[in-house]
Chain A
Amino acid sequence: MNTSIQACIAGIYEHPLRVAPDHSVARLHADVAHGALRDAGLTANDVDAYFCAGDAPGLGPTSMIDYLGLQRIQMVQTTELGGASYLSHVGEAAAAIAAGRCKIALITLAGRPKSEGSSGTKPRNYGDTAPDAEFERHYLPTPLNSYALCAMRHMHEFGTTSEQLAWIKVAMSHHAQHNPHALLRKVMTVQDVLDSPRVADPLRRADCCVVTDGGGAIVVVHPEIAKTLRQPMVQVVGMSASVKGQSGGRVDLTHSATAWTAPRAFEQAGITPSDIRYASIYDSFTITALIQLEDLGFCVKGQGGRFVADGQLIAGEGRLAVNTDGGGLCNNHPANRGGMTKIIEAVRQLRGQAHPNVQVPNLEFALANGIGGFLGSRHAAATLIMKRV
């Protein structure tokens, strides 16, 4: 275990809006950037590194650094791991700070898919030069059918049931009732989920995350700076990212790249899954969360259904509190990219700033895990582990 502190998360901010038709994407990025800097007690003039992903408008960081008026930038990184990008950014920012390349890094995410009519049933177009497009686009791959293929296979191999998947949504809805900004705040039962219409079997509408506008931002700083700031210190202690695809035709739909990233992140942090009592798990669909929980090592492969059933993910009731903000399934999913809000809620938990009804007491460690892209064809995963200093 690395005993010296690499870097700390000093500022977080989640945009309160879920529908923002009157805000430009750049404005949303600016809203969350300023929010996270305020939270840390810093200003835009302090920032010397900027990280963003494909949701940033125009020429990405080049456009946004100019728009935000960041004058002291000496390190820039952009990446494209879909919704997992921001977990990777935190780890890369921490490594850059430890290497002396920067001291105060700003990471932003924002978008307005709700206002722009995005839907999980519509094909996503990543451009005509995507190497898979010539062989796949005419079959209309969408986020929904990609994850549905994984769910169908998981049920076939392990006997996972729709009721077990429903428990994930039920847990998120229990948490969302306490979040005034959450899009869906009504507590749901397993039967409510099963009664929602099938959209791509075995997935039902309630197995899918919400589509929302909004965004989030994070400030990662040198530990010596963190000591001088207002927020409790949250240290970055492990991060690993990877990509898994169709393996040239050796398709495996029941494991995510998390199976590779989690062991590395846990090793860096010097802990095991049994040390984790709060986890933010990317829940674009119920099956997404279930497969990650297995790959993270919270249970053995195939036992995810039993692990999540009967309220086991509900804070204060279950064995592992997951997504106490209501997650992507009930709270928000800004820019169709859930990684940022996963980190933010994990930091709230470590600071003791989660809603009192869902706060896990005396946390030392928290984990955030993200998936980007399509789990059923090619996706990225990133595992981030944080520690309260």
Chain B
Amino acid sequence: MNTTEAPFVFQDPLINSESQTYWAQAQQGKLMLKHCIDCDTSHYYPRSYCPHCDSDKTEWRTAQGEGEVYSFTRMVRGVETPYLMAYVLLDEGVSVLTHLQSPNWNEVHIGMRVKVNFSASTSGQNVPFFVPA
């Protein structure tokens, strides 16, 4: 987070029956991916059917939570609180749309190693974001 700005507080995420596990595990500090047993491939965002091979044999797996910045942008105008939007390419080989938070926004660059962190939404649901590793 840019220290000169008010901290960004996530709005409460939408949660339904298919994303319950993702959010319950986030509350425990875990970032979850879906993994396909048939084609042995992870995907994101999580689905009941594997988007790579159409199999319905998908299971939740905990991501290591580390990766590198694939792209990012600093949203600095026309917003209530500035934020860093990013795609992070996890070491598991899937990219996630997320936020970065950093004490120094100018150090953020593509390829930077980052790790997952969590902060509470308005109503206390942990939401994943990434910080410099």
**A contact set with B: CB distance below 8 Å:** 119-122, 128, 131-142, 144-145, 148-153, 156, 197-203, 205, 246-251, 253, 376-377
Most buried by A among B18, B50, B74: B74
CB distance from A95 to the nearest CB of B (A): 28
- Complex Cα distance, B33 from A258, in Å, reads 30
Q: Does residue B94 face the partner (Cβ distance < 8 Å to A)?
A: yes
Do B73 and A200 touch across chains, with their CB atoms under 8 A apart?
A: yes
Given the contacts A152-B73, A200-B73, A200-B75, A137 and B95 also touching, CB distance less than 8 Å = no
Q: How far is the CA of A150 from the CA of B85 in the complex (A)?
A: 12
How far in angstroms is the closest Cβ of chain A from B93? 7
Q: Is the CB of A200 within 8 A of B74?
A: yes
A149-B73 contact given A139-B85, A249-B93, CB 8 Å threshold: yes
- A–B Cβ pairs within 8 angstroms, 15 of them: A131-B47, A135-B19, A135-B22, A139-B85, A140-B83, A149-B87, A156-B71, A198-B77, A199-B77, A246-B97, A248-B43, A248-B50, A249-B45, A253-B71, A253-B87
Check B78–A119 contact: CB distance below 8 A: yes
Contacts of A199 in B (CB 8 A): 75-78
- How far apart sit A200 and B72, CA to CA, in the bound complex (Å)? 9
Question: Is B99 on the interface with A (CB-CB < 8 A)?
Answer: yes
Q: Which of A138, A156, A197, A203 contacts B11 (CB 8 A)?
A: A138
* Nearest-Cβ distance from residue A163 to partner chain B, whole angstroms: 19
0 or 1 for each of B60-99: is its CB under 8 Å from A? (1 = yes): 0000000000111111111100010111010001111111
Which of B22, B76, B98 is most buried by chain A, counting CB atoms within 10 A of its CB?
Answer: B76
Contact of B71 with A140 in the complex, beta carbons under 8 Å: no
Contact of A137 among B13, B41, B98, B99 (CB under 8 A): B13
Using a Cβ–Cβ cut-off of 8 Å, how many residues does chain B contribute to the interface with A? 46
Specify the chain B residue showing the minimal Cβ separation from A140.
B83
The answer to whether B110 touches A153 (Cβ under 8 A) is yes
Question: Is there an interface contact between A251 and B87, defined as CB atoms closer than 8 Å?
Answer: yes
Residues of A with C-beta under 8 A to B99: 139
* Contact (Cβ within 8 A) B97 A141: yes
B44 at the interface (CB under 8 A from A): yes
Interface centre among A121, A145, A376 (most CB of B within 10 A): A145
Q: Besides the contacts A135-B19, A249-B94, what 7 more A-B pairs have beta carbons closer than 8 Å?
A: A138-B10, A140-B85, A144-B78, A149-B87, A153-B70, A156-B71, A198-B74
Instruction: Determine which of A128, A132, A249 lies in contact with B95 in the assembled complex, contact meaning CB atoms within 8 Å.
Output: A249
The minimal Cβ–Cβ distance linking A359 to chain B, given in whole angstroms, is: 37
- Answer whether A121 and B78 are a contact pair too, CB < 8 Å, given A128-B14, A138-B12: yes
Q: In chain A, what residue has the closest Cβ to B95?
A: A251
Q: Which 4 A-B pairs have the closest CB atoms?
A: A249-B94, A121-B78, A248-B51, A148-B73
Which B residues are in CB contact (< 8 Å) with A253? 70-71, 87
- B117 at the A interface (CB under 8 A): no
Residues of A within 8 A of B98 (CB): 139
- Assuming the A-B contacts A135-B45, A139-B97, A249-B43, are A145 and B73 also in contact, with contact meaning beta carbons closer than 8 angstroms in the complex? yes
- Interface: B46 (CB within 8 A): yes
Judging by beta carbons under 8 Å apart, are A248 and B73 in contact? no
Q: Which residue of A lies closest to B10 (CB)?
A: A138
Whether B52 contacts A377 by the Cβ 8 Å rule is no
- Residue on B nearest A253 in the bound complex, by CB: B71
For the complex, give the distance between the alpha carbons of A120 and B79 in Å. 10
The answer to whether A135 and B73 touch across the interface, beta carbons within 8 angstroms, is no
Most chain B CB within 10 A, of A132, A138, A250, is at A138
| Cross-chain contact A134 with B13 (CB below 8 angstroms) | yes
A246 to B18, CA, bound (A): 19
Known: A131-B47, A148-B73. A141 touches B85 (CB 8 A): yes
The answer, yes or no, to whether B55 is at the interface (CB within 8 Å) is no
